[in-house]
A and B are shown apart, each in its own frame.
Chain A
Amino acid sequence: SQELEQSPQSLIVQEGKNLTINCTSSKTLYGLYWYKQKYGEGLIFLMMLQKGGEEKSHEKITAKLDEKKQQSSLHITASQPSHAGIYLCGAANFGNEKLTFGTGTRLTIIP
């Protein structure tokens, strides 16, 4: 079965600083999803990557999928308090819509 490992498990960053979260898969990724979760809330979709070498950006968040399609990174530029939360990567399986998730990265932004 596919396993996703996220690093770091938690991150404390000063407001305005940049940060990167990584997601590594034990198998080639067919589709990789990034979600954000705040305490007591559901998952909010951020971005989806499918092609090797693909990169997508939305506001100050950029996600990349490596050429071998086994690792993805999420980069936040000039972090803000609104970026705080738990970031989860999820992998899609070929021919099956169910997602396998990593354990998440808890991001705290300090003033």
Chain B
Amino acid sequence: GAGVSQSPRYKVAKRGQDVALRCDPISGHVSLFWYQQALGQGPEFLTYFQNEAQLDKSGLPSDRFFAERPEGSVSTLKIQRTQQEDSAVYLCASSPGGTHLINIQYFGAGTRLSVL
């Protein structure tokens, strides 16, 4: 596709359920990012991949959060035993990466997660 695609767009989960959020980056983009955006706030960094390698996961709020990108393309963010404080919009972004020190990140429309 032409842009970053995220699915589902909306997810309602009962507290304690596991959820999986998918991100399809722009074809050929090396770098992939996950951000969490709470209502009325700017996005906050969660984790970053370069190809299949997870280079930075310092923003993951707890060990209930897990991300993978096994083939260096599609990525999945998994949240186990969801809590109400996990309710937020989860944004995925990709960038060309490679040798460029600064790369423009292109964002998907996000997945809005509501935990009841």
Give A residues with C-beta under 8 Å from B: 4, 30-31, 33, 35, 40-45, 48, 50, 88, 90, 92, 94-104
Contact = CB atoms under 8 A, between A and B. Distances in A.
Given A41-B109, A42-B109, A96-B56, A101 B42 contact: yes
Nearest to A31: B102
B87 interface: no
A98 B56 contact: yes
A97 to B, nearest CB: 6
A103 B43 CA distance: 8
Range class of the B interface residue count: 20 to 34
A100 B45 contact: yes
Contact of A45 (B43, B104, B108, B110): B104
Interface of B: 4, 6, 31, 33, 35, 40-45, 48, 56, 59, 91, 93, 95, 97, 101-110, 112
A97 B104 contact: no
B42 A42 contact: no
The majority secondary structure among interface residues of chain A is: strand
A104 B41 contact: yes
B42 A98 contact: no
B45 A98 contact: yes
B42 A48 contact: no
A50 B100 CA distance: 13
Given A48-B104, A102-B42, A40 B48 contact: no
Contacts of A101: 35, 42-44
Given A48-B104, A92-B102, A97 B48 contact: yes
Given A31-B102, A43-B43, A43-B107, A97 B97 contact: yes
B1 to A, nearest CB: 13
A45 B42 contact: no
Most buried by B among A42, A100, A103, A104: A42
Contact of B33 (A4, A50, A97, A100): A97
Contact of B105 (A99, A100, A102, A103): A99
Given A88-B42, A98-B33, A42 B97 contact: no
